[in-house]
Structure 1
Amino acid sequence: MIVKGDESDPLLFFKHLAEKFNGQWNGEDFSFDNEFGKLKSTTFGYMNSLYIGITELELTEEMTFEHDPISDRQFVSIRIGKIGDFKSEQSQIQQKDSIYIYNNLQKFKIVYPPNTKMSWFFIRFPKDLYDLIGTDKSSDFYQLISNPKPWFYYSPMLLEIELLINEVYDVLEDLTIRRGLFLAKGIETITKLRAHGITNKLNNVVYDIHPDDLEVMLQLKDEILADFTKMPNVMALSEAKGMSKSKLQRGFKSVFKMPILQFFNHQRVLEGQRRIKSTNHDFTQIAIELGYTDLSHFSRVYKQFLGKRPSEEVRST
């Protein structure tokens, strides 16, 4: 099943979806529950230009969303996606949770697998609206959203962003305050991402990439992060994708700025950091969960990538 759309006006898009899937749409809440599966979304528009919402779906068959932009107004979309919902218990599949930021010119495809619950928080705003929440003209974030080329940015889920989204999720059914809180947390999310860019640099940006190539690399990213206890076999992956190892590595590096194995090892360390900060698991348990041979191995690789040992992290109480 293929759904094509332009994200310039999400409210109009949901009206179209309601017609296509015999769904219910009242201008804020959209839903369907039928032979295609289940989907529900709450979306608010502000000033006819800023849109913020949360969507959850679990489909009975694979669906591909093709973003095919038609509007020439320059806008930015932030899509923060998650396997499960934002109130799920922490799980091994959390490493697939991602933050995507892209502009209106970037075509792309996202595949939603069948029988898999997925959720995402999204913000879409025109570039000129950014001046209301940030006066800088030199930050990496501002330079990125000002770039006139098609571009696409990737980041693994950030704990501070996930906590913000949880607060939005908590008020989904509260008709009195949800519209205002969506706006407040949406602006805070943009501000936090800008601050993250200042501290960490927005390196994972790819420009003017073909949507088919981007789709392959995003799927490959999910495949290699599906199980941190299994080191990726680059030869097997290249054969499965029908391309040479060198071509696969070039394509992957163009999107994620690292070769496949280095990316895997870096993401595994970041997942370890997230579990240290957000769970009560001891360091040895986390090391075993992530496929390290022992705590010493985990600590050595952790310091290699993050410049400090796991024991130096400040754990949440």
Structure 2
Amino acid sequence: MYNKEKEIRFKVKEGDIRNYIDSFLEHLGGTLKGNHYILDNSKGKIDWLLYEFIPGFQLVIGDVYMKQSTVVERELEANTDHLHIGIFKSGVIHHQFEDDSEVLGPQESKDIFISNGLFPIEAHLPSYQYSAVGIKIKRGTFSQLLPHSDALLEELFPSNTPMRYHLKKNNEVEMLMDEIFHSMTLKDWKNPLVMAKGLEIFTFVIQSIQVSKGSDELYGLHIEDYNRLIEIKEKLLSNFEQKVVLEELATEFGISVSKLKRDFKILFNTSVYQYFMNAKMDEAYKRLQSGKYSVSEIAYDLGYKNLATFSRMFKKVKGLSPTDVAVIK
């Protein structure tokens, strides 16, 4: 039986963005020059700009593409004082299920995620490139910038209840995301323009939350939902030969299909099918690199009855054929 190679896995304490950079430098490598973090090695590529132009308001913007399976365990804050906002601009996701019935990609992500630091989330850095803006803001700074929105913050996170919300970007935020990434390409005036756009994005995101609260557009995840999703994830990863059927999965865990799809998207920023397929192809990639198994052995072991289907799927997800990986030592 195949012994699964260890993935890159490390912990980051939630809160200050510097915690992330310190852990990334230690476990992935790269360099930090001023406010610019760059990683470009066999593990992957990261290009981040970091800003803290107001005390308690931190902004990170840039691109990520990991070549190796990488999991970041986010440790809880003892006394959470931060609001965490992630806005995804783009990501190329290739997905095709075994029976060719569903094909997805490339696509633009239109997602915003908002949380406090009370979910012990494992973030799987995907094997496709994505661009995003991250904002970490202390509650005191939030109150200084938007004093009229204190009630909104308490409504979203009553008594520091563990919560994570998902929201689609509106046109204003979409436009500002384009502008802030364009500002990154400028030689002159880059820093002030990026900082200004970062504040605008934050303001419009909070405004969008205010408008959307109480509707289906703003969907929250409670701690019991989180625990259920971890069990679902473990079931998916326990058997790569299985065929995932949402109706059966939802029934087994006592929820509706619509809730399963919404909750999974909120926590993992991908669909159940996409998550399973990416994990499956990550496993195939590691086995190919080990040199211990043939392409056909791996395909059949992962539940594929047709070698051509496996090869086509692998290339869609990883961007190269299985035989190309097999010769990489």
Give the 5 Å matches for 1:262-281: none
The equivalent position to 1:41 in structure 2, one of 41, 44, 48, is 48
Could you tell me which residue of structure 1 aligns to residue 163 of structure 2? 151
Change (3 A) 1:245 1:95: farther
Change (3 A) 1:174 1:209: farther
The equivalent position to 1:58 in structure 2, one of 60, 65, 68, is 65
Q: Structure 1 counterpart of 2:199, which letter?
A: I
**CA deviation string 1:263-285 (max 9, x = no partner):** 9xxxxxxxxxxxxxxxxxxxxxx
TM-score normalised per structure 1: 0.63
Q: Is 1:206 aligned to 2:217, yes or no?
A: no
Q: Structure 1 counterpart of 2:201, which letter?
A: T
Q: Secondary structure at the match of 2:79?
A: coil
Q: Following the alignment from structure 1 to structure 2, what is the Cα–Cα distance between the partners of residues 178 and 142? A: 35
Aligned residues: 239
Q: Secondary structure at the match of 2:143?
A: helix
The equivalent position to 2:112 in structure 1, one of 99, 112, 123, is 99
8 Å CA contact retained: 1:106, 1:150? yes
Q: Following the alignment from structure 1 to structure 2, what is the Cα–Cα distance between the partners of residues 197 and 22? A: 37
The equivalent position to 2:260 in structure 1, one of 252, 268, 289, is 252
Q: Secondary structure at the match of 2:165?
A: strand
8 Å CA contact retained: 2:80, 2:118? no
**CA deviation string 1:92-143 (max 9, x = no partner):** 54354311000022221222332x1112110000111112221215754552
Q: Is 1:29 aligned to 2:55, yes or no?
A: no
Q: Secondary structure at the match of 1:94?
A: coil
Q: Following the alignment from structure 1 to structure 2, what is the Cα–Cα distance between the partners of residues 254 and 117? A: 23
8 Å CA contact retained: 1:217, 1:255? no
Unaligned runs of 5+ in 2: 1-7, 93-103, 235-242, 266-270, 272-329
Could you tell me which residue of structure 2 aligns to residue 182 of structure 1? 194
CA RMSD of aligned residues (A): 3.6
8 Å CA contact retained: 2:170, 2:208? no
| Pairwise CA distance, 1:204 | 0.5
The equivalent position to 2:27 in structure 1, one of 20, 25, 32, is 20
Q: Is 1:197 aligned to 2:206, yes or no?
A: no
Q: Structure 2 counterpart of 1:81, which letter?
A: F
The equivalent position to 1:72 in structure 2, one of 64, 68, 79, is 79
Q: Following the alignment from structure 1 to structure 2, what is the Cα–Cα distance between the partners of residues 158 and 218? A: 30
| Pairwise CA distance, 1:249 | 3.6
Q: Secondary structure at the match of 1:51?
A: strand
Q: Is 1:134 aligned to 2:146, yes or no?
A: yes
| Pairwise CA distance, 1:44 | 0.9
| Pairwise CA distance, 1:23 | 0.6
Q: Structure 1 counterpart of 2:182, which letter?
A: D
